[in-house]
Structure 1
């Protein structure tokens, strides 16, 4: 599932014609970008091209650092045109930026290269006249795309919903319409963004840009649903995807969102288990919701939870939030923690249990002589009153340690 960072939806010939006409009248390079500063269409050069413009034309998109810089100027909230300063370190000349809005909705950003940051009154008037037909054309294209996206969203939500009858009907509609194929393998991923200081609508736009690149890959195709601060992506494929591919896909989504969003809006991804066919896609979705809680709670996962790798966490994280509390920690484990040398003994216990009770592997991992390890294990048994040769006692302690991990990194599971 190799990622392809999609540029914005290509502009129509009509929009391209309007851009070319304005550029010729001004004698300046003009580009139309979407709200994520991804190129939609652009004019020819007028000797004013800079490295940023050249790279964007060659790569199909601007560099992440440039996108972050432009968005940091607050252009997505502008209600009227203005200049943004250039940056020599990234090869960016100053731009005159015109927000293209219709009914309060930001459709895109017109960017005109103006090295001296000066436009005559006549030039400003020419730009202002061009805005209305451009906005009208973009709004018409936006409505058409929005209709397609809404239909796909509604179908996907029914396909993953709680009613078996509704799921079956949605599956048949997906097959009949050709929107999806009933391939042997199906997997669902969920992306959740914690709402920070982003302006209204920015998170939805960012999710669409970050996740949309995976609707069609070399080995899979799918559909997505955007719901305010989260995205659901269903992918179908003819062969089992490599877990590393899914992990890389999730990391790319998080990386892309960090380009489009402020650091106050971190993202987490949950990947459900691989299922056979569309009929079981809802199971992968439910698993993805559990995995997303793991990605949020366990720092070692770096924001990506994968159901297939959760192990015993998959059981614990299905508990409701109010039930996942300190009462689940067994009393013997709490006694061990409070004892003299408790932290060291608890670390020894964790290593022993994670190595399936193997004395040689545990001693090697802790770099302890086996005699010292046996001594610590006897101390643990004396303090807890439990038998480490007993499977039930070991399971209780191991699950208790896992609960502590979840509670130590506890955060709110808003929206999941």
Structure 2
């Protein structure tokens, strides 16, 4: 996935100490890199133009016209494009990417105005110009590089490596709050033409269509409601019985695998607990979070779990805090029937249902069996 152009952009970012973006002459994004050293705040390393370019794979005609009006199409040397605060545009350094005098694209650096383009001896400038020339030769030779954020997301979640996570951080901003949504289709595969909703969202189909991951930037790491809304909206295009889960928010993409586990757990729980269906968040799972890490129910429950009526009775009784009245009402049975079933549960398992530890074992085991059933 990473080719010569991506390595080149990484090097430009390093030598000038600033986030770098490479676009072709039509403003189509080819590669980008965040500069990860130093404490520069996000507002100095990301603006609306860079965000749209990375997430939208290019710039709008209006943005293109604005920059072309600053003389970049005829430039043969580095030039400074001044900021436009009203438009939300930060100052940036433009390195024309040329080969044999022909324009092939642009290297952009959000350097905060540090590099003096009028000084050939400015730190890193000559090396950056040489790298821009190398990019021109590569583009002229017909070897453009591309950055596929969906593939990066899939790589991170399947454990391929850290470079993809850095790519996503560069796209979104290393301090940007993000959440992950897991979609669990009721049947493997996705409807033709299905696309997850959400402006700025990045999605990846995993496990042969058995799961869809959606990475969503948030405005606030204390508010995952936009991710919940995306999950609910996405489910409307999936088969009945599909579920979704929402992970807790983090800043940046360093813990995407952890967020993916949270989101998938929430989607699994939503498939077995009607109170949380069809979309659940990690924050509202409660004891299900502990159940999800269990390898399965305790073997002592084996005989009980072969009887679906008694298993359901145990689950409802435990969820009702052992109340005979509430349990009988929820099961629509006479109280004597309930007492008979509880006796059978005790006989089959050897557990003392009046003992708190035994009841805990039973409760965790019944829930673990329910999760195992949806996974199977």
Structure with greater helix share of residues: 1
Question: Into which bin does the TM-score normalised by the smaller protein fall?
Answer: 0.3 to 0.5
State the TM-score, normalizing by the size of structure 2.
0.46
